[in-house]
Amino acid sequence: MIHELPVLPYSTEALQKAISSKTMEFHYGKHHQTYVNNLNNLIKGTKFEDASLETIILEADGAIFNNGAQVWNHTFYFMSFSPTGGGEPSGQLLELIKKQFGSISEFKEKFSQAAISLFGSGWAWLVLRPDGSLDIVQESNAGNPLRSGHKPLLTFDVWEHAYYLDYQNRRADYVSALWNIVDWGTVESRLSK
């Protein structure tokens, strides 16, 4: 199976209220593409040659896991945003957030803190646990909550390449800006996938 860089549902200029086109060119166009290229080269002649990204995440280790998970994580991240995003969730997702965290503002504060406080590089995730409750988890490097049996709903990438061109060392400003582009409809649709 040849893995490919996904086509975004928006232009690289579309998320300017949080992510510049320059960052998109590097983050999506170069970093994400490099993970795809590396993965395709690494899986040749291995048992993962025809495996899905999910299988690679669950079963691989080392470089194959790192590149496969980064392809999946970045695709998930970029598909979580919209130029018309922001605001607040609704429907079932809203009810689950209120049940778990008390309010949207409390959830955003806790999720933001998880993203800001993650040491080094990695990801903050909103996940649906097997028992149907929500949780916020931190994953270092290429970590992915699928390995723990959780269903990912939303992620913020806190590797420096995700924000350094726009925000330098101001990770908190980057995290705050991302709330303006979250596509809550997409996040909610992941509950039933």
Q: What is the pLDDT of residues 76-96, one digit of tens each?
A: 999 999 999 999 999 999 999
Tell me, what DSSP letter sits at residue 6? P
Average pLDDT for residues 6-26, to the nearest whole number?
97
Q: Which residues are paired to 13 by β-bridges?
A: none
Average pLDDT for residues 143-168, to the nearest whole number?
98
What residue type is 166 in one-letter code?
D
Q: What is the pLDDT of residues 31-60, one digit of tens each?
A: 999 999 999 999 999 999 999 999 999 999
Q: Which pairing describes strands 151-157 and 134-140: parallel, antiparallel, or unpaired?
A: unpaired
Stated pTM of the model: 0.97
How far, in Å, CA of 64 to CA of 41, rounded?
9
Ordered structural domains, the chain, with CATH: 21-78 (1.10.287.990), 91-192 (3.55.40.20)
The angle subtended at Cα 36 by Cα 178 and Cα 13, nearest 5°, is 35
Count of beta carbons in the 10 Å neighbourhood of residue 57: 22
Give Cα separations from 174 to 116, 148, 160, 171 (angstroms): 9, 27, 10, 5
How far, in Å, CA of 6 to CA of 25, rounded?
14
Is 1's pLDDT higher than 90? no
Mean pLDDT taken over the chain? 97
Average pLDDT for residues 149-155, to the nearest whole number?
98
pLDDT value for 156:
98
pLDDT band at 193 (very low <50, low <70, confident <90, very high): confident
